[in-house]
Amino acid sequence: MATQQTRSLARFMMAPSVVLLFVWMIVPLLFTLWFSFQQYNPLNPIRDGFVGFSNYALFYSNPAFLQSILNTLTIVVAVLLITVIGGIMLALLIDQPMWGQGIVRILVISPFFVMPPVAALVWKNMIMHPQYGVFADIARFFGGQPIDWFGQYPLTAIIIIVAWQWLPFATLILLTSLQSLDGEQKEAAEMDGAGFVSRFIYLTLPHMSRAITVVILIQTIFLLSVYAEILVTTNGGPGYASTNLPFLVYQKALLEFKIGQASAGGVIAVILANIVAFFAMRAVGKNLDK
């Protein structure tokens, strides 16, 4: 009947994107799986061939491996915390009646338009540079020692840069959600004599939960693959202090040209991402089904 017809039409309409994405997922994945069991080093092809799981073993025994997983998760969690909490506060602030709200909003969303390498270059050279950066100028103005961000607090520095890039995105989504909150509900709560804090906890926050979920979900996917910012600023160091999983894979692939190990690292990254996504969905996913 009609439903049968609609359903097949629906399938037909969905087909291009599903097929494309399936090919786009499966082809690189198969290649990566295949290479992950090969020794493949285009710079030194003499020993190339099937090597079983030894690429995985080598990748795992890399002294940077465990730290890189920890760093990957730290970046994701820290940036999420900063952008979600900061985003809520910023959204509440911008939602207040004020002069020049439009311009404020434009200024706040601007970092989102900046390409990651430029953002990293700007922060590295203009802002955090221990000699010429603005932070160093401020420290010297107050008679303090400039902080060597990338030497002493490399991971923190990267988290700050990445959070700066994603704060606008979180703020925008949270702000839209906040503005959709029914005015009448708010008023009713105010009439009841609910203070700002209790209004926030019992009315605003539950209303925004869906938006928060969306922010967490989308950002997690992007944050798991942060890499340009590390390459430009710290190159993963000092030591392995700011090496995350994508960066470790990068080092294997484009510095050492050990494609086999890089592929094994890629497979591990996919597994890790799926684990993270699983827990993220468990924790916040029910908000999506409402």
Partner 1 sequence: MKLRTLTLGLLSASALAFAAHAESITIATVNNGDMVRMQKLTDDFTAKNPDIQLNWVTLEENVLRERVTTDIATKGGQYDVMTIGTYEVPIWAKQSWLLPLDKLGDDYDTKDIIPAISGGLSVDGKLYAAPFYGESSFVMYRKDLMEKAGLTMPDAPTWDFIKQAADKMTDRANGVNGVCLRGKAGWGENMAFLTAMSNSFGARWFDENWKPQFDQPEWKNTLQFYVDLMKADGPEGASSNGFNENLALFQQGKCGMWIDATVAASFVSDPKNSTVADKVGYALAPDNGLGKRGNWLWAWSLAIPAGTQKAEAAEKFVSWATSKAYAELVASKEGWANAPPGTRSSLYANPEYQKAAPFAKMTLDSINAADPKQPTVKPVPYVGVQFVAIPEFQGLGTTVGQLFSAALAGQSSVDDALKQAQDAATAAMTEGGYIQ
Partner 2 sequence: MARAVTPQHKTIATAAAWIVALLIFFPILYTVITSFKSEQEAIQGFNLFPSGTMESYSEVQAQSGYFKFFLNSVLLSVGSTILALLVAIPAAWSMAFSPTKRTKDILMWMLSTKMMPAVAVLFPIYLIFRDTGLLDSRIGLMIMLMLINLPIVVWMLYTYFREIPGEILEAARMDGASLWNEIVYVLTPMAVPGIASTMLLNIILAWNEAFWTIRLTTTEAAPLTAFISSFSSPQGLFWAKLSAASTLAIAPILIMGWFSQKQLVRGLTFGAVK
How crowded is the C-beta side of 4, counted as CA atoms within 13 Å? 1
Per-residue binder mask for partner 2 (CB under 8 A), 116-145, x = binder: xxxx-xxx-xxx---xx-x--xx--x----
Answer yes or no whether residue 58 interacts with partner 1 by CB under 8 A: yes
Answer yes or no whether residue 49 interacts with partner 1 by CB under 8 A: no
Compute φ and ψ for 38, nearest 5 degrees.
Answer: -115, 150
Nearer to partner 1, 220 or 243 (CB): 243
Pairing between β-strand 38-39 and β-strand 49-50 as defined by DSSP bridges: antiparallel
Closest to 259 (Cα-Cα) out of 48, 6, 46, 18: 48
Answer yes or no whether residue 39 interacts with partner 2 by CB under 8 A: no
Nearer to partner 2, 78 or 219 (CB): 219
Nearer to partner 2, 46 or 103 (CB): 103
Answer yes or no whether residue 237 interacts with partner 1 by CB under 8 A: yes
Answer yes or no whether residue 52 interacts with partner 1 by CB under 8 A: no
Distance (Å) of CA 36 to CA 107, 225, 264? 45, 19, 5
* Minimum distance, C-beta of residue 118 to partner 1, in the bound complex (Å): 13
Host H or E run for residue 49: strand 49-50
| Alpha-carbon gap, residue 151 to 131, rounded angstroms | 13
Cβ distance 40 to 48 under 8 Å? Answer: yes
* Minimum distance, C-beta of residue 155 to partner 2, in the bound complex (Å): 19
**Contacting partner 1 within 157-186 (CB under 8 A):** none
Per-residue binder mask for partner 2 (CB under 8 A), 205-224, x = binder: -----xx-xxx-xx--xx-x
Q: What residue 205 binds from partner 2, partner 1, none (CB within 5 to 8 A, per partner kind)?
A: none
* Minimum distance, C-beta of residue 280 to partner 1, in the bound complex (Å): 31
Q: What residue 84 binds from partner 1, partner 2, none (CB within 5 to 8 A, per partner kind)?
A: none
| Alpha-carbon gap, residue 64 to 67, rounded angstroms | 5
| Alpha-carbon gap, residue 92 to 179, rounded angstroms | 9
The count of residues interacting with partner 2 (CB under 8 A) is: 107
Answer yes or no whether residue 21 interacts with partner 2 by CB under 8 A: yes
**Contacting partner 1 within 79-108 (CB under 8 A):** none
Name 37's Cβ contacts closer than 8 Å, sequence gap at least 6.
Answer: 50, 51, 52, 53, 55, 260
Cα 200 from chain centroid (whole Å)? 27
Closest to 32 (Cα-Cα) out of 229, 262, 274: 262
Answer yes or no whether residue 113 interacts with partner 2 by CB under 8 A: yes
Per-residue binder mask for partner 1 (CB under 8 A), 251-280, x = binder: xx-xxxxx----------------------
Give the interface with partner 1 as residue ranges (CB under 8 A).
Answer: 41-47, 58, 61, 63, 129-132, 136, 145-146, 148-152, 234-241, 251-252, 254-258
